[in-house]
A and B are shown apart, each in its own frame.
Chain A
Amino acid sequence: MTLRDWQTAATWLLGLAGDARIAVTSAALDASHPLIEALPEERRTRLRPNGDEADFGVVIAAAGVTEVGGTVHLETDLDDRIVTMLSRTLVRAVAIDTIVERLDTVAPLLAPESGPGYTSIITGASRTADIERSLTVGVQGPITDHVIIVG
């Protein structure tokens, strides 16, 4: 879905989440991302890596890649990864001006210059076809997955 700006995105997100609190990543919080800022503090939550799931999670993609229909996420900290891993409904937000055509363009994001790093390209909900090739979503992570394109 394409939304005009981060404020609109936040409004849409709150509507979708209903009463659920929205798990956000520390990276987005620390960076004071406009989408996170636009969410009321009491509606935000942090997910801890202790086995708990979030009903609802939102992450900000570093880029989008049309070639694979995926979003690129920098998630070096476990606290950040846990949101994409353990939100039952996951919303991936990507700014329209970060969307590129080819994987090659995002190559520099895939490994940092130095130090540890973790980059994922995500294209949808967790899925499996291991039982009689029957496609089933939500085997481990998100059961519902949204991408919002903002801008």
Chain B
Amino acid sequence: MIRPFRARYEAAFENDHLATALLDFQRAWRVSRDAQIEDLETELGETFQDLRHRLAEAKRRVRAELEATTLRFTEAARARGTIVHRASSAQEAVALVGGICEDAGAGIVVKGKSMLSEEIFLNEALASSGITVVETDLGEWILQLGGERPSHIVMPAIHLRRQEVAAIFERTLGRRFDPDDIPTMVRAARVELRDLFFRAAVGVTGANFLVADTGTVGIVCNEGNNRMASAIPTTNIVVAGVDKLVPDMATALLQIRVLARSATAQTATTYTNFISGPRPGQVQHLVLIDNGRSAMAGDPGFADALACIRCGACADVCPPYQVVGGQVFGHVYSGAIGLVNTLFHHGLDAASGPQGLCVSCGACATVCPVEIPLADQILRVRRRVFEAAPTRVDRLVGWLFGSPQRFAAATRLAAALGAPVRKDRFSRLRFPRRHAGWRRPPIPPWRPARSQLRDLPEGGSGTVGLFLQCISDRVAPSIAVASAQLIEAAGFRSALPRSQHCCGLPSFDSGDWDTAAAMARRTIEQFEQFDQVVTPGTSCVVAAQHHFVELLEEHPGWAERARAFAARIRTIEDFAIEHLDRSPLHPGPGDRRRPPVLSSHQRHRIRRPRRTARVRRWSRDRHARRGRSVLRIRRLHIVARPRDGVRSLGEEARCRRAGRRSRPGDAEPGMRAPHRRRAGGPAERRALRPHR
């Protein structure tokens, strides 16, 4: 059984090796995977986007007619001599498999790697009826001997060091193993397992796909253990979820093309096996398992997750996964997909802890070979978790951000308390590390942006609505003030509705959709009068363009208003890039001045106070060093070189230094900054260059 989330979480931070090993892995994977995808695109003359869309569509069609496809497969498989069973729950499935093993008189069962068998806790169930279950995939075997659970969908033992593997082998095999001699350890598996394939009466495997047209079971593997487990014993049991159905062989081949590339960054696995019925002299059973899949297929917010082909790519790019590993980031299934499907396979309690680890960076969805919108789905899981049992922190977020008065009072209080230790306008509070770790909240300044900009009108025809963003307003007002100056510099008049507050993203991210919806509605109401709304809060634009419509879907009439608002709001960077070429700052024809240089930077980051505190600490210490961070709020200035005779709107000398490093012409018109970026630092500067 799986230990409680809290215990797994604490244990992960005791392990110094884990994050480093996973970082190495993620980096290596990314390089090889990208090369593989490029090759594939060249080979097929089709983009990865198109390929994955095609596969996702095919799997969507299967879901739309799930029962019909299941029957088609069942009929075809039965015609080949396979005995097909169906199980609606994990309990039913393990009872079925247990019964078959008993009938076959199995003392020993050999198993190929199967995530589904993990999902239904098959090993435990068989062991409790006195059957010896032996995992034959090397990684799974090591975990079985060590009493552990997989930490990655395709590389189950990736969290273990060779020293730990050697210790496990020594303990179980009773002889010395040199940790540096990996081939000897691998050979031990070959020798120990060989005999068992021939002594076992039953072999159990999973399936990578089930072809409805032909009744074929597809299994890919590198070690060859799956072939032996399925072929040698006289009884073969295949356990598979109904999500593995594909309509035809062409779809199966499409899946093969993206599977190995996304999983292990191989063109193809060593073995791809197409099993159509039992071999002569063998009985073959196939247990088709639902275990929450129909419920998933029927839920439009989650149905796409059923397309998952279990490649593990979502884990391979995930920053929090890299810090805590798959035994924490997930339940049975790890990575982003595990944060979603756990809700349906193992329930809300099991999903509750891990979902809080997601930082909504969205990297998973970019590499998913079946285009599952994983980050969005995790937020939907979070909503359910909040609605079932909101945590104190999540409630505090809603309480604090939900009311402009409370937020104002809190930031003023923080400004007063922080005043004695403030060094400059962006000081951070420092607690002793032992007590606070990552927690270094910024000290808000005395005057929020709204009082610094009190001369601006509340509205008026032709004005550009300036949405301050709650954090810029009260914690980093110079960003908001610079934004107002930039709007003026581009030749527009800005307006500042006084009752504006926060877009609601903090509550939305906490799963508190009711509070978030109320805040979104208030924001839309206040800015509906403007044709253009500009904000320094990139994340607010993401919220408005990406989440408001879904958030307000249940509010009659509001989805339309949200759509209209999404079309009008954009970041100050996007606004500047479009308008600066027509601004008075820009040199006209015959003017020998250089064009103004636009630069933004994010020296002063503010991170969301979620419960991934320790992830953040790590993130700051290590991720930041390599230029990755999770969420940030940037400062923005127009920087121009004084010697060019252009008035500088930047406030601080260090920003000028940053500006001098930029090259003239960086801010060409028509370039757009992507809204959702993982990268900071150098990428931030790149954002103003053409989008490749």
Contacts and interface: CB of A to CB of B under 8 A. Distances in A.
Given A111-B214, A118-B279, A78 B232 contact: yes
Contacts of B223: 126-128, 139-141
B280 interface: yes
Nearest to B189: A139
Contact of B155 (A133, A138, A139): A133
A34 interface: no
Contacts, number: 168
B435 interface: no
Nearest to B269: A123
B64 interface: no
A115 B137 contact: no
Most chain A CB neighbours (cut-off 10 Å) among B155, B156, B162, B249: B249
B157 A131 contact: yes
B25 A133 contact: yes
A74 to B, nearest CB: 10
Contacts of A151: none
A111 to B, nearest CB: 4
Contacts of B156: 130
Given A78-B280, A110-B216, A116-B81, A103 B274 contact: no
Q: How large is the interface on B (under 10, 10 to 19, 20 to 34, 35 or more residues)?
A: 35 or more
B198 to A, nearest CB: 4
A103 B228 CA distance: 24
B79 interface: yes
A119 B253 contact: no
Interface in A53-74: 53, 67-70
Given A110-B216, A131-B165, A136-B182, A115 B277 contact: yes
Contact of B280 (A116, A122, A126, A133): A116
Contacts of A124: 270
B685 interface: no
A120 interface: yes
B245 interface: no
A129 B670 CA distance: 47
A129 B155 contact: yes
Contact of B182 (A68, A122, A125, A131): A131
Contacts of A76: 279-280
B190 A138 contact: yes
A116 B80 CA distance: 5
A67 B260 CA distance: 13
A67 B43 contact: yes
Contacts of B182: 131-132, 134, 136
A117 B215 CA distance: 11
A111 B211 contact: yes
Nearest first, the 4 closest Cβ-Cβ pairs linking A and B are A116-B277, A130-B139, A68-B268, A141-B224
A85 B256 CA distance: 21
Most chain B CB neighbours (cut-off 10 Å) among A53, A110, A112, A141: A110
Given A112-B276, A114-B79, A126 B142 contact: no
Given A104-B253, A130-B142, A130-B157, A49 B198 contact: yes
Interface residues of A, number: 47
Given A103-B253, A111-B211, A127-B222, 18 more contacts: A49-B198, A69-B267, A70-B268, A77-B279, A81-B231, A104-B253, A115-B81, A118-B231, A118-B276, A128-B138, A128-B222, A131-B139, A131-B142, A139-B223, A139-B225, A140-B228, A141-B223, A141-B227
Interface in B1-33: 21, 25, 28
Most chain B CB neighbours (cut-off 10 Å) among A78, A115, A132: A132
Contacts of A141: 223-224, 227-228
29 contacts: A53-B194, A85-B224, A85-B228, A85-B231, A107-B250, A107-B253, A114-B79, A115-B81, A116-B80, A116-B278, A116-B279, A118-B276, A118-B279, A119-B274, A122-B270, A123-B267, A123-B268, A126-B223, A127-B223, A131-B182, A132-B160, A132-B161, A132-B165, A133-B28, A134-B162, A136-B186, A139-B189, A139-B223, A140-B193
A120 B435 CA distance: 58
B613 interface: no
Nearest to B161: A132
A20 B280 CA distance: 29
A95 interface: no
B138 A111 contact: no
Contacts of A140: 136, 189-190, 193, 223-225, 228
A62 to B, nearest CB: 12
Contacts of B269: 123
B271 A138 contact: no
Contacts of B215: 111
Contacts of B679: none
A133 B28 CA distance: 10
B198 A118 contact: no
